[in-house]
Amino acid sequence: MMPSRRLFLLFPIFVFFRGSAQNLPTEDRIFEQAIKTVLLYPVLGNDPTNPAQTLNPPVVDQAAETQLMLEFDDLTANFRPFRAKFVHCNANWQQSILNDIEFTYEYNDYPIQDYQISQNTKIPYYHYRFPVPKVKLPGNYVLVVYNERNPRQIYFSRRFCAYLNRVGVSAAVEFANDPQLRFTDQQINFEISYRGYPLISPQDDLKIVVRQDYRDDRVVTGLRPTNVRAFDNLLEYRLFDLKNTFPGGNEYRYFDTRTVLSRGNYIDRIDRKEDRNTAFVNTDGPRSVGVYVQTDDFNGQYVIDHLETHLGATQSDYINTVFTLRMDEIANAEIFVNSAFNFWQLNDLNRMSYVPELRAYRAEIQLKQGVYNYNYSVKGIPPPVTRSGMNLSGNEILIEGNYSATENDYEILVYHRPPASRADQLVGYRRMGYNKRK
């Protein structure tokens, strides 16, 4: 009897993922240009279609049984069979040695079957949705999406975290204590209460990660407690070397392309052609000279929406969005449009070119209709050295400036590897904002 198609497909998937485990991606990355607008977010509240939900990071509380939702578009406009798989990672986002059965409730191979065709758009696409299954263990995960017919072809990967609060985290954000950094940097002081949670060596057992604005290129690690109050089961992190500080940066720039019938906020003009629309964002300039200006933003994130129908998933069109930064050319440096839409990566997709006749940098990026935050980042001129030792991917301070009054979001993630366990678990999570105005 011939083997079923299902069994035939499972065998090469198993061979690929276990035999080539070291080649699996463990970062946010899109490997095919036709895949766009990859969103992974927790479904919160009573309205699962609320586009503002995508502003929340893909971090879920296992105790609350929060559901994660994956959405993405395929601009080939042809149906393709996608499948998904979990990769379990340690605190440093390196793949762990756990077997699939140790962190999944089902066979670790999921078909993505919920899809819709775009409507009334000049750029046709398939829109896919995938409710992410729950995982057994708290910790770091990567969701890898690949071709069912060719499991070696990976389309994209997205990180997410599941936590179970077994330790308590209390924190406060303030100006940096160093007078030289008071007007530029922000400092996070925090305490961890491990009452009722066994730690053999409290000062060594926990791995701490502090993250700014949900950006994996803005993290501080390797923090050790400055004081261990053993009788109170409390760890204090008030570092005098200022390794718990972050550059405040500046509020993000933004624009609104939810409609092409008129100009949205910070849109200079819209060119409407038969086969595509092109939106020109207002010309920008450097903001590193002058005073801090308070504005509301999404801390670098974006929201997909369609103003006329509010059905952004399938009725938002893809628009060629043109960015212009008017300034003199910087020798031996590259400038990028920097945002969550590109996972904060600086590559060919968001690189700008200098146009001498405009005396400005320019980039054209295909983006789905919505409200976007962004800033400008420079490669080739090292950013200022931070006290925390962060390895910043680009120099955003050169064009955007750096102010301690900037509104930012912060997360504290506490990892622990219990005795006899073979991987790190996320046992504490705290999210807080600084200078919040909404």
Read off the pLDDT of residues 161-174 as tens digits, 9 standing for 90 and up.
Answer: 999 999 999 999 99
Per-residue pLDDT tens over the stretch 229-284: 999 999 999 988 889 999 999 999 999 999 999 999 999 999 999 999 999 999 99
For residues 11-15, average pLDDT: 38
What's the CATH number for 5-163? 2.60.40
Structure tokens of 80?
């393709």
For 132, 176, 246, 273, 371, the CA distances from 119, given in Å and listed in that order, are 25, 50, 44, 17, 20
One-letter amino acid at 249 equals G
Question: Which is more confidently placed, 438 or 402?
Answer: 402
Per-residue pLDDT tens over the stretch 331-353: 999 999 999 999 999 999 999 99
> Which residues are bridge partners to 231 per DSSP?
none
Q: Counting Cβ atoms within 10 Å, is residue 38 exposed (0-12), middle (13-18) or buried (19+)?
A: buried
What's the CATH number for 253-379? 2.60.40
Distance CA 28, CA 39 (A): 11
29, 157 in Cβ contact below 8 A?
A: yes
CB within 8 A of 92, min separation 6: which ones?
Answer: 221
- CA-nearest of 211, 170, 209 to 192 is 170
CB environment 372-389: b (16+ within 10 A), e (fewer) = bbbbbbbeeeebeebbbe
Distance CA 414, CA 431 (A): 12
Evaluate whether 5-163 and 253-379 have a shared fold. yes
Among the listed ranges 26-40, 176-190, 201-215, 378-392, which one has the minimum average pLDDT value? 378-392
- CA-nearest of 288, 297, 228 to 266 is 297
Whether residue 17 has pLDDT greater than 60: no
Q: What is the share, in percent, of the chain residues with pLDDT greater than 90? A: 85
- Per DSSP bridges, beta strands 35-43 and 67-74 are antiparallel
Max distance between CA atoms of the chain, in angstroms, equals: 78
For residues 354-381, average pLDDT: 97
Q: What is the pLDDT of residue 130?
A: 97
Q: What is the pLDDT of residue 295?
A: 92
What does the DSSP 8-state code read for residue 351? B
The CATH architecture to which 168-248+402-434 belongs is Sandwich (2.60)
CB environment 414-431: b (16+ within 10 A), e (fewer) = bbbbbeeeebbbbbbbbb
Distance CA 345, CA 257 (A): 22
CA 162 and chain centroid, separation: 15
**Average pLDDT score, the chain:** 92
Whether residue 413 has pLDDT greater than 90: yes
Per-residue pLDDT tens over the stretch 39-96: 999 998 777 778 899 999 999 999 998 999 999 999 999 999 999 999 999 999 999 9
Distance CA 28, CA 70 (A): 13
Distance CA 187, CA 157 (A): 32
Taking the domains of the chain in order of start, what are their residue ranges? 5-163, 168-248+402-434, 253-379
Q: Counting Cβ atoms within 10 Å, is residue 231 exposed (0-12), middle (13-18) or buried (19+)?
A: exposed
37, 72 in Cβ contact below 8 A?
A: yes
Whether residue 223 has pLDDT greater than 50: yes
> Which residues are bridge partners to 168 per DSSP?
193
One-letter amino acid at 179 equals P
- CA-nearest of 339, 328, 241, 266 to 299 is 339
Distance CA 52, CA 50 (A): 5
Distance CA 149, CA 82 (A): 9
Structure tokens of 55?
């502003």
Q: What is the pLDDT of residue 438?
A: 61
N- to C-terminal Cα separation, the chain: 65
Whether residue 13 has pLDDT greater than 70: no
Distance CA 229, CA 236 (A): 8
